[in-house]
Structure 1
Amino acid sequence: MEAYDRLAACMSNYDDLAIFRRFKVLHCRNLLLMEAELIHKHDALVTAIARDRLSDDPKRKQLSFNFRDLLASPDTYDDGSPSQKQVMKEIRPLLKDYGTSSHSVIDFFWVAVCSEFLILYQRLCELPPVNKSNLSRLWRLCSKGPEYRPFFEGGEYFTWHKGKAYDLTSLSGRTRNRDMLSRLLDKFITTVYHWAVGHRIHEQISVDASWKLEDPVDMTHYPDHYSPAVVDGLTMILAPILPATSIFALYFIKDPLVRMGMIVLLSFLFSATLALVGVPRRLDAFAATAAFGAIMVVFVSNNTDCGC
C-alpha cells in the first residue's frame, strides 16, 4: 500500500495532482446494457397488451379499459405468458436506475430531471480534462528510486499513463478555459525554467509528517498562481503599448496604400493578442477588433486631412 499512501499524501497537499480515471467506457457499457434490457421489457409489454386485446377471454380484453381489473389480473396466464401487470413490475426497478423522472419548476417551465446513470455520465463528461504537465509529475510519483522503478504492477501501472489521458480528469479544474499564454507559460516553467534554475530555487514536494514516506519525493512543485500572475502583468503592459505603438507606426507612414495594409496587419495582431492573453467570446473578439480598426482609420483620416 506504500504506493497509494504516497499518492494520497501528495494529492492531499497539492490539488493539481488530484488526477483520477473516469472509466467512461464502463459507464457507457453499463448504460447500453441497461438500455438493451429495457428495450426487451418494452417489447414484452407491447406483446402482452396485444395478446389481451386479441384474447377470446372478455376479462383480458377489458384490461385495456379498466385499471381495477388490471390490478386484479394474475402474474401469468394458463399458457405461461406474463401479464401486463407482471411485466410492469419487472420494468419499474429498471426505470428507477435508468429512467426515473422527477419534475421541478425552473423559469416557469416543467423540466424533467431523469436517469440517475445518464446524469452521472453527463457529469463525468463535463469534468475538466487532465493537465499534461501535472500528469507527467504524477507519473513520476508512481516510481521510486533514481532509476524510477514502478510502484505499481499489472493494470494499475497504466492508470496514469499518458496513453490514458483521454479518460483522466484533473479535479482541481484549473486547466479548463485557460488562455493560450498561460498554457505556454506552464510548458515553459516545467521544462526550460525548471531545467535552468527552477529545480534549485523552488521547494520540493513535501507531505505531512505523519505520512512521511520511506522513499522521499524528489520533485519540484510550481504553484498554479505563477502563470496567472505573469499573464496579468503582460496584459497590463500590452494593453497601452499595442495601441500606442500602432499609432506611432501609422504616423510615420505617408503612403496611403501602405497605411491601409498596416491597419489590416495591426488589426490581425490585435486579434491574435486577444486570443493569446484571454479567452474572449467570438462576438467580443470581433467587436474589439472592429473598434480597434475603426480607431486606426479615424486616426489616419485626421492625419491625412491636416496635411501631416
Structure 2
Amino acid sequence: MGCFPIRGIDFKAWEQRSENDLVAVKPRVLSGPLSWWITNIVFPLYHRIFGVKFGIADSNEVGDGLYTYEESLISSVINIITTVVAAVLPLSSIVVLFLVKSESTRLGILIISSACFALVLALMTNARRIEVFAATAAYAAVNVVFLSNN
C-alpha cells in the first residue's frame, strides 16, 4: 500500500505491547559485549541526539518510533573501536613503563595494565577464558621483557 499505514487487524502491530510478536527475517549476530553495548545503548542514544534532529535517519521509514541503520555501519564502528584499542593499549603500557623510573611503581603499573588488558579482551571479544588467560600472559611477558631490558 505504498507509504500508507497498515490497515485492518494488524494496524497495532508496532505498539509496544506487541513488541515480542515481531520476527526478524535475518537475526542480528552480535560478536561480543561491545557489539551489544553499541547496538543497544550507543546507537539509540545517537539516534535520539543526532539522527532525528539532523535527519540522518528517517524514523518514519519503517514505522512510528522505529528507525534503520545499515548493519555495515554498526560493524564498521565496532571494528574501528576494536582496532584502535588493540593498537593503543599495548603501546600505552610500554610508554608509561618507560617514563616511570621506580621499580616498585613499574611492577604495579605492569599488574594494572595486565588487568586492564584482560578486561578489555573479555569485554570486546567473544574469547573464552583460556584464550583471555593466554593472551594476558603473553602481554605480561612482553612487558616484563621490556622492563628487564630497560
Is 1:299 matched with 2:138?
no
Is 1:172 matched with 2:26?
yes
Query: For 2:56 and 2:23, how far apart are their aligned partners in 1?
Result: 30
How much has 1:169 moved relative to structure 2? 7.4
Matched ranges for 1:1-150 at <5 A: 2-4=8-10, 7=13, 141-142=14-15
Question: Is there any run of 5+ residues in structure 2 with no aligned partner, and where?
Answer: 1-6
The residue matched to 1:4 in structure 2 has which SS? coil
The residue matched to 2:28 in structure 1 has which SS? coil
The structure 1 residue matched to 2:67, chosen from 199, 207, 220, is: 220
Is 1:160 matched with 2:19?
yes
How much has 1:6 moved relative to structure 2? 7.7
How much has 1:205 moved relative to structure 2? 5.0
The structure 2 residue matched to 1:290, chosen from 127, 137, 145, is: 137
Quote the residue 2:46 is aligned against. Answer: 193
Question: Is there any run of 5+ residues in structure 1 with no aligned partner, and where?
Answer: 8-140, 144-157, 208-216, 304-308
Q: With CA pairs under 8 Å and 6+ residues apart, which has the higher RCO, 1 or 2? A: 2
- Tell me, yes or no, if the aligned pair for 2:61 and 2:67 is still in contact at 8 Å: no
277 and 3 in structure 1: CA distance in 2 versus 1, 3 angstrom threshold = farther
Larger Rg: 1
- Tell me, yes or no, if the aligned pair for 2:57 and 2:68 is still in contact at 8 Å: yes
Matched ranges for 1:227-238 at <5 A: 227-238=74-85
How much has 1:159 moved relative to structure 2? 4.7
TM-score by length of 2: 0.78
- Tell me, yes or no, if the aligned pair for 1:179 and 1:277 is still in contact at 8 Å: yes
Query: For 2:9 and 2:34, how far apart are their aligned partners in 1?
Result: 35
- Which letter does structure 2 place at the counterpart of 1:279? N
Query: For 1:198 and 1:229, how far apart are their aligned partners in 2?
Result: 18
Displaced runs of 4+ in structure 1, greater than 4 A? 168-171
Query: For 1:3 and 1:265, how far apart are their aligned partners in 2?
Result: 59
The residue matched to 2:92 in structure 1 has which SS? helix
- Which letter does structure 2 place at the counterpart of 1:173? P
Matched pairs, number: 140
- Tell me, yes or no, if the aligned pair for 1:3 and 1:142 is still in contact at 8 Å: no
Structure having the higher strand fraction is 1
TM-score by length of 1: 0.41
The structure 1 residue matched to 2:123, chosen from 276, 283, 289, is: 276
- Tell me, yes or no, if the aligned pair for 2:117 and 2:136 is still in contact at 8 Å: yes
Query: For 1:225 and 1:6, how far apart are their aligned partners in 2?
Result: 30
Query: For 1:198 and 1:3, how far apart are their aligned partners in 2?
Result: 31
- Tell me, yes or no, if the aligned pair for 1:203 and 1:220 is still in contact at 8 Å: yes
